[in-house]
A and B are shown apart, each in its own frame.
Chain A
Amino acid sequence: MSVTDKTGAFSRLGDGPRLTQSARRQLLLTVMPVIVLAALVAAIAIANPNFLRASSIWTVLDSAVPLMILASGAMLVILVGGIDLSVASLASMASVLVALWIPALGGWAVPVVIIVCALAGLLQGAIHVVAQVPSFLVTLGGLAVWSGVALLASGASTIPVSGTTLDWTFTRVGAWNVPSAVLIAAALVAVFALVLAFTPVRRWLISIGSSEPAALMAGAPVTQTKIAAFVVSAACAGFAGIMLVGRTFSGAPTLADSLLLPVVAAIVVGGTAITGGFGGIGRTIVGVLIITVLRVGLSVAGVDSSYEQIFYGVLVIAAVAMTIDRSKLPFVK
């Protein structure tokens, strides 16, 4: 035997400063979207100080409401690793249906329409999960189908809404003239936040999004959670459609169609990983505000409308570059 054993020191565990560095990195990722938002607002305010008036701020928040409601729901689907492309066209369909049904059902049209949309989401979720068709495709088909339903139901025309049934969605309340829509959206967001924080739902969403096989093998209710995400997403879309009717006094088959890409952009800018498994409602709020400020703020800042698209494109890319957490995306697709 001519071997020597040189037992070395066995101690070597986590060391302080480096851990703090990774914690600081996490912190940076959390505050980055907020910094981007603040920088944008500051830049616009420098160009046009009136942007910081109370009335202007309320207007921005009010404008963000439909996007916020849509994004809250769509975020759930993105968290489980899917995508819901049908939200905007569902919102359009909801606007038509609620406008058609208010004369007969009055205020009951609202819950009925939300339920109808939820059923549409259930159908999409079921096809996705049971037939195992990628969500991108199911909801792309859904986008076309719900648009068709909206066109047929409305006869391709705008359905005006008279009366005061939906006034609660678009009015100002209190001494500060707070838009009611902002309060409604805040309440909805609070419900989301509470459910995600105090129930196991978030855990299921995240585990499915980051490792679906592991979630399945751990007995997480994968099927139910995924379908539920689609149902909630669709219900939110329906509600957003109703909110839009409240502010346009009519339902139209293409009313919300253009909101699809802003919704996805808002979720991603907020820092939620488009591949799923990482993100949350707080990030989505910030993302929605960033996109809304970009949508309404550029003209306020006096950007020539010919150049607005170029600015929008550059700033969206720049914002995403700063806010996404690359450590959650080992391979950027």
Chain B
Amino acid sequence: MAPARLGLAPPETGRAPGSPRPSRRPDRATILADFGPLGALVLLCLLFGFLSPQFATWGNVRNVLDSASVLAVIAVGLTFVLLLGAIDLSIEGVMATAALSVALLVANSRNDLDFGFMGVLAAVAIGAGFGLASGLLSTGLKIPSFMTTLGMSAIGIGIATVLFGGVQPALRSPELAEWASGQWFGLTRLTYVAVAVVLIGILVQRYTRLGRYARAIGGAEELALLSGIPVRRYKTLAFTFAGATYGLAGVMVTTQLGSGIVQAGVGQNFAAITAAVVGGTLLSGGRGGVLHSIVGVLIVTVLVNGLVLIGVSPYVQGAVQGVIVVAAVVITAWPLRKRLRVVK
């Protein structure tokens, strides 16, 4: 009896194989994952600056920032969905509906409505509504987000087609036109809108439950449940927030183009996912964040801009982008390789 009671806890302990030992310093892999994309961006800028005299001009910097603004707004919202470990393929549809909605709600060539900035808010709300629907379908019916958002995209394009009804509604609102072309301190106003959204995104990610819980759910959903987090609610909320940013992006494209078109979001979905992933926001969830995604957005935008400037044939631009993206990821992932590492 006595030895048993004195027999302290067995010093032998099992440890999860492969789990790293405690360290105060982030390891090499983390540094690479966090700063690799930034390094790639700097390298790209240096490369293009060397190859093209126009690249490093103020005008081009302004152009790159302006071009990146729509994608950046989308990427902010998408980041939260990706943090969950989910995916969002509804961007094109949501942007289409938002674009048509805003064009029909502010002063336009098709009807007599003129709700001004309330119309913009309404379009953003419609975007949020799409996100809410995707979220509710994913969490309520337990359908993978891949499929719900794919379906929502088709629905969004369908609704936009119906709203379009044959004639593009052209904007007749001077205030909105001002937002598209006006500049503050040498940068377009939409650039500031994007910066504001990015800042909001960072604040949401860092200082709100949504940001925290999105990361927690992406990190380990079952554990998030065990911690008493209302997982479904925050998943739905993340989709809703994302939908709102897509709605805003649809509005931005509409103001840029001066009329509401169904194709407002064409190509943005893959571009946004590529940007987020290149920036280090992983599809598996829980990793990365708004800043990562924004770096990715800049990489993608600089690539497109730089390739046009140095005159690469339009045929191969896509292929070059593909190679660069894969190469960048291979380089950053190489030191992480391990025999038993599971990569899907």
Q: Could you list which residues of chain A lie within 8 angstroms of chain B, going by C-beta atoms?
A: 81-82, 127-128, 131-138, 140-145, 147-149, 151-152, 156, 212-213, 216, 261, 264-265, 268-269, 274-276, 306-314, 316-317, 320-321, 324, 326, 329-333
Does A137 contact B158, Cβ atoms closer than 8 Å?
no
Q: Which residue of B lies closest to A317 (CB)?
A: B151
Partner of A140, one of B151, B322, B338: B322
Does B145 contact A333, Cβ atoms closer than 8 Å?
yes
Q: Which of B200-244 contact A (CB under 8 A)?
A: 221-222
With a CB–CB cut-off of 8 A, which chain B residues contact A321? 137, 141, 143
Instruction: Give me 30 A-to-B residue pairs in the complex whose CB atoms sit less than 8 angstroms apart, sorted by A's number.
Output: A82-B344, A133-B333, A134-B282, A134-B343, A135-B343, A135-B344, A137-B326, A137-B329, A138-B326, A140-B277, A140-B322, A141-B323, A144-B318, A144-B322, A147-B318, A148-B318, A148-B320, A151-B315, A152-B319, A212-B342, A268-B144, A276-B344, A309-B157, A309-B161, A316-B147, A316-B150, A317-B143, A331-B222, A332-B144, A333-B145
Does B142 contact A326, Cβ atoms closer than 8 Å?
yes
Does B154 contact A310, Cβ atoms closer than 8 Å?
yes
Q: Which residue of A lies closest to B342 (CB)?
A: A212
A331 to B235 CA separation, bound complex (whole angstroms): 12
Q: Could you list which residues of chain B lie within 8 angstroms of chain A, going by C-beta atoms?
A: 84-87, 89, 93, 137-139, 141-148, 150-159, 161-162, 221-222, 270, 273-274, 277, 282-285, 315-323, 325-326, 329-330, 333-334, 336-338, 340-344
Known interface pairs A148-B316, A321-B141. Does A268 touch B147 (Cβ–Cβ under 8 Å)? yes
* Chain B contact residues: helix, strand, loop or mixed: helix
With a CB–CB cut-off of 8 A, which chain A residues contact B86? 333
B33 to chain A, nearest CB (A): 13
With a CB–CB cut-off of 8 A, which chain B residues contact A261? 89, 150
Partner of B315, one of A133, A152, A307, A314: A152
Partner of A329, one of B84, B142, B162, B344: B142
Q: Which residue of A lies closest to B330 (CB)?
A: A131
Does A332 contact B142, Cβ atoms closer than 8 Å?
yes
Does B333 contact A314, Cβ atoms closer than 8 Å?
no
A97 to chain B, nearest CB (A): 15
Q: Which residue of A lies closest to B326 (CB)?
A: A141
With a CB–CB cut-off of 8 A, which chain A residues contact B282? 134
Known interface pairs A135-B344, A140-B322, A216-B340. Does A264 touch B151 (Cβ–Cβ under 8 Å)? no
With a CB–CB cut-off of 8 A, which chain B residues contact A134? 277, 282-284, 329, 343-344
Known interface pairs A320-B147, A332-B144. Does A309 touch B158 (Cβ–Cβ under 8 Å)? yes
Partner of B154, one of A142, A143, A264, A313: A313
A131 to B93 CA separation, bound complex (whole angstroms): 35
A149 to chain B, nearest CB (A): 7
Q: Which residue of B lies closest to A315 (CB)?
A: B151
Known interface pairs A82-B344, A331-B222, A333-B84. Does A140 touch B270 (Cβ–Cβ under 8 Å)? yes
A18 to chain B, nearest CB (A): 22
Known interface pairs A137-B277, A310-B155. Does A213 touch B143 (Cβ–Cβ under 8 Å)? no
Does A306 contact B326, Cβ atoms closer than 8 Å?
no
Does B344 contact A307, Cβ atoms closer than 8 Å?
no
* In the complex, the 10 A-B pairs of residues with the closest C-beta atoms, listed nearest first: A148-B319, A144-B322, A309-B158, A310-B158, A313-B154, A141-B326, A313-B155, A317-B151, A141-B322, A313-B151
A314 to B343 CA separation, bound complex (whole angstroms): 33
With a CB–CB cut-off of 8 A, which chain A residues contact B340? 213, 216
A135 to B343 CA separation, bound complex (whole angstroms): 8
A217 to B321 CA separation, bound complex (whole angstroms): 37
B145 to chain A, nearest CB (A): 6
A268 to B319 CA separation, bound complex (whole angstroms): 29
A156 to B156 CA separation, bound complex (whole angstroms): 31
A61 to chain B, nearest CB (A): 24
A332 to B338 CA separation, bound complex (whole angstroms): 28
B299 to chain A, nearest CB (A): 14
Partner of B159, one of A141, A310, A324: A310
A81 to B326 CA separation, bound complex (whole angstroms): 19
A265 to B89 CA separation, bound complex (whole angstroms): 12
Q: Which residue of B lies closest to A312 (CB)?
A: B154
Sample of 10 more A-B contacts, CB < 8 Å, known A132-B338, A261-B150, A320-B148: A133-B330, A133-B333, A134-B283, A135-B343, A144-B323, A268-B147, A274-B147, A307-B158, A310-B155, A316-B151
With a CB–CB cut-off of 8 A, which chain B residues contact A324? 142-144
Q: Which residue of A lies closest to B140 (CB)?
A: A321
Does A132 contact B158, Cβ atoms closer than 8 Å?
no
B146 to chain A, nearest CB (A): 6
A274 to B143 CA separation, bound complex (whole angstroms): 11
A317 to B148 CA separation, bound complex (whole angstroms): 6
With a CB–CB cut-off of 8 A, which chain A residues contact B344? 81-82, 134-135, 212, 276
Does B319 contact A144, Cβ atoms closer than 8 Å?
yes
With a CB–CB cut-off of 8 A, which chain A residues contact B84? 333
B292 to chain A, nearest CB (A): 14
A324 to B144 CA separation, bound complex (whole angstroms): 9
Does B336 contact A132, Cβ atoms closer than 8 Å?
yes
A142 to B321 CA separation, bound complex (whole angstroms): 10
B323 to chain A, nearest CB (A): 6
A81 to B86 CA separation, bound complex (whole angstroms): 15
With a CB–CB cut-off of 8 A, which chain A residues contact B325? 137, 140-141, 144
A330 to B336 CA separation, bound complex (whole angstroms): 28
